[in-house]
């Protein structure tokens, strides 16, 4: 499993647990800053995110095709056993996710937004996932990848939301999930698209 960790205030880090005792870190240019319009706290009475609004057909980035959207009230349905308890203790109220297929590569990407109670909870979840040796979120494609080694996880935070992407190769060729191929996908779909969609929800 490869994990691409990105925080809006720092650069990318690549963490690999494939036959390595210690993760290897690399850095890339800084992602864009988050907008102040995304709140740090979820308030009682806040309208839940709607999958058909968050992933509106006209909003999908060029080069991708939307194949599936889901709105999950049970956060554990999207998360691994390792991360599900953390999401529950962080006040997770929903996970909204979608599957996009790349028009220019064999990648299928599950992107998701996890609705937590505060930015502190989102940052704590980010930290825990970054240091975990387990995959954090399931791919929503069917059939699922044969093993965790066939996927790459990228994740980020924005306000009280945790954002993620699970990148899989539809042809199940692990070499296509190299950092050089996957990092631009994670940057475009997590740091740009999902952050911008959340900004739109609060403007």
pLDDT computed for residue 29 by the predictor: 33
Query: Which element (helix H / strand E) includes 130?
Result: helix 119-131
Residue 36: inside a domain: no
Residue 133: inside a domain: yes
Domain with 134 in it: what CATH number?
Answer: 3.40.1000
Looking at the structure of the chain, the number of domains it has is 1
List the domain range (segments joined by +) for residue 131: 2-6+49-201
Residue 24: inside a domain: no
Contact 42, 93 (CB under 8 A): yes
pLDDT computed for residue 31 by the predictor: 40
Convert the pLDDT of each residue in 45-87 to its tens digit: 888 999 999 999 899 999 999 999 999 999 999 998 889 999 9
**% of the chain residues with pLDDT over 70:** 73
Q: How confident is the model at residue 16 (pLDDT cuts 50, 70, 90)?
A: very low
Q: What is the mean pLDDT of the chain?
A: 79
Residue 23: inside a domain: no
Residue 35: inside a domain: no
Q: Which residue in this structure is represented by tokens 């999207």?
A: 78
pLDDT computed for residue 203 by the predictor: 76
* More confident: 189 or 30: 189
Whole-Å CA distances, 156 to 19, 47, 67, 140: 25, 22, 23, 19
Which residues, other chains included, contact 129 with Cβ-Cβ below 8 Å and sequence gap of 6+? 3, 5, 83, 136, 153, 155
In the sheet that holds 94-102, the strands lie side by side as: 13-16, 2-5, 151-158, 161-169, 107-115, 94-102, 64-72
pLDDT computed for residue 172 by the predictor: 65
């Amino acid at each position: 499993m490869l994990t691409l960790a990105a925080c809006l205030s720092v650069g990318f880090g690549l963490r690999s647990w494939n036959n390595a005792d210690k993760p290897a870190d690399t850095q890339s240019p800084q992602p864009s800053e988050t907008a102040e319009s995304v709140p740090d706290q979820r308030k009682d009475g806040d309208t839940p995110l709607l999958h058909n609004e968050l992933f509106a057909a006209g909003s999908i980035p060029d080069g991708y095709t939307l194949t599936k959207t889901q709105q999950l009230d049970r956060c554990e349905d999207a998360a691994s056993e390792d991360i599900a308890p953390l999401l529950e203790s962080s006040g997770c109220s929903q996970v909204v996710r979608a599957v996009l297929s790349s028009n220019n590569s064999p990648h299928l990407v599950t992107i998701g937004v996890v609705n937590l109670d505060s930015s502190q909870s989102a940052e704590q979840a980010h930290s825990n996932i970054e240091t975990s040796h387990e995959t954090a979120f399931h791919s929503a494609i069917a059939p699922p990848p044969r093993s965790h080694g066939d996927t790459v996880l990228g994740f980020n935070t924005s306000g009280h939301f945790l954002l993620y992407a699970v990148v899989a190769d539809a042809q199940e060729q692990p070499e296509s999930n190299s950092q050089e191929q996957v990092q631009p996908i994670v940057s475009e779909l997590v740091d740009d698209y999902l952050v911008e969609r959340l900004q739109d929800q609060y403007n």
